[in-house]
């Protein structure tokens, strides 16, 4: 029995090498942790608050007394939010510095979140069939190991449990092969007006490196890796792993704020809800 377990763990380590690609991704987030936490600022960016988060909350439904895994929690603002809603939250992230920031922010709240440094592609700290819900918010587009992450999500979910994950919309992915053709800057919103969105080589699934910017407009210390994939890749990966797709949303802004003129014309995010069957 011990030899079988050792062989299995050896197989897992070979399948999930942590010292090549994952270490590079880890270092990106470690070095950008402070800038990222400042940008999120405990509640998410305007795009999160006005477009993405309301859709995610609708798809998650009532989380009270549910065991919820926040897979790739960042600085933990959604982990804290759903803990306040009554969920029993475990939150994991590859970055020790982001987990540290999450723990500090949670210390100021009257809630409990179980934070762990762990890898969504090989979730060492979680046994099989542990969770009712997995939330993975804007994570899968930043990792090279989509197949392995979806398999791990399937493993740690209970039968009938649900996975809700969000990505930047693959067909209009300005972190990948697309970009806006920009016009003049709108003096009211301080954003440049979009003339049209241009995209090419949609079927080329590859890594792009992009710099995020702080609220002050400065570049993050390091670029962040984004892995462009087609819609069919995400959907077929879910299906082949044993998930049933329940809902696919392309959320729109929740109000008529002129700041989101571009985002009312094309979808910025895509949000999936799937069930383990």
CATH of the domain at 161: 3.40.50.150
Question: Could you tell me the residue range of the domain that residue 143 belongs to?
Answer: 2-276
Residue 71 DSSP SS3 = strand
Q: Which residues of 185-218 are buried (b: 16+ CB within 10 A; e: fewer)?
A: eeeeeeeeeeeeeeeeebeeeeeeeeebeeeeee
What are the pLDDT digits (tens) for 127-170? 999 999 999 999 999 999 999 999 999 999 999 999 999 999 99
The predicted model scores a pTM of 0.91
Length of the chain: 277
Which helix or strand (DSSP H or E) is residue 179 part of? Answer: strand 178-185
Predicted pLDDT of residue 16: 41
What pLDDT score does 18 carry?
Answer: 43
Q: What is the pLDDT of residues 36-80, one digit of tens each?
A: 999 999 999 999 999 999 999 999 999 999 999 999 999 999 999
Rounded to 10°, the helix 96-107/21-40 angle is 30
Question: Comparing 115 with 11, which gets the higher pLDDT?
Answer: 115
Q: Flag whether pLDDT at 2 surpasses 80.
A: no
Mean pLDDT, the chain, rounded, equals 92
Q: Between vectors from CA 74 to CA 72 and to CA 80, what angle results, nearest 5°?
A: 95
DSSP-derived 3-state class of residue 122? strand
Q: What does the alpha-carbon distance between residue 139 and residue 148 come to, in Å, rounded to a whole number? A: 13
Tally of domains in the chain: 1
């Amino acid at each position: 029995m011990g030899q079988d377990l050792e062989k299995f763990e050896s197989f897992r380590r070979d399948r999930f090498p942590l010292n090549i690609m994952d270490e590079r991704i880890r270092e990106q987030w470690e070095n950008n942790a402070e800038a990222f936490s400042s940008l999120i600022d405990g509640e998410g960016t305007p795009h999160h608050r006005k477009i993405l988060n309301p859709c995610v909350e609708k798809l998650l439904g009532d989380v009270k007394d549910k065991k919820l895994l926040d897979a790739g929690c960042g600085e933990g603002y959604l982990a804290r939010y759903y803990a306040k809603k009554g969920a029993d939250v475990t939150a994991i992230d590859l970055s020790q510095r982001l987990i540290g920031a999450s723990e500090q922010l949670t210390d100021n709240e009257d809630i409990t979140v179980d934070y762990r440094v762990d890898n969504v592609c090989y979730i060492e700290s979680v046994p099989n069939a542990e969770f009712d819900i997995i939330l993975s918010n804007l994570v899968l587009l930043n990792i090279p190991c989509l197949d392995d992450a979806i398999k791990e999500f399937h493993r740690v979910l209970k039968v009938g449990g649900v996975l809700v994950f969000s990505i930047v919309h693959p067909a209009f992915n300005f972190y990948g092969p697309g970009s806006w053709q920009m016009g003049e800057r709108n003096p009211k919103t301080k954003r440049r007006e979009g003339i049209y969105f241009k995209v090419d080589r949609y079927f080329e699934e590859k890594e792009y490196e992009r710099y995020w910017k702080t609220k002050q407009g400065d570049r993050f210390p390091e670029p962040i890796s984004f892995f462009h994939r087609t819609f069919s890749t995400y959907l077929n990966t879910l299906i082949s792993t044993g998930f049933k797709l329940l809902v696919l949303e392309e959320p729109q802004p929740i109000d008529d704020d002129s700041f989101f003129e571009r985002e009312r014309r094309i979808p910025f995010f895509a949000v999936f809800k799937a069930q383990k069957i």
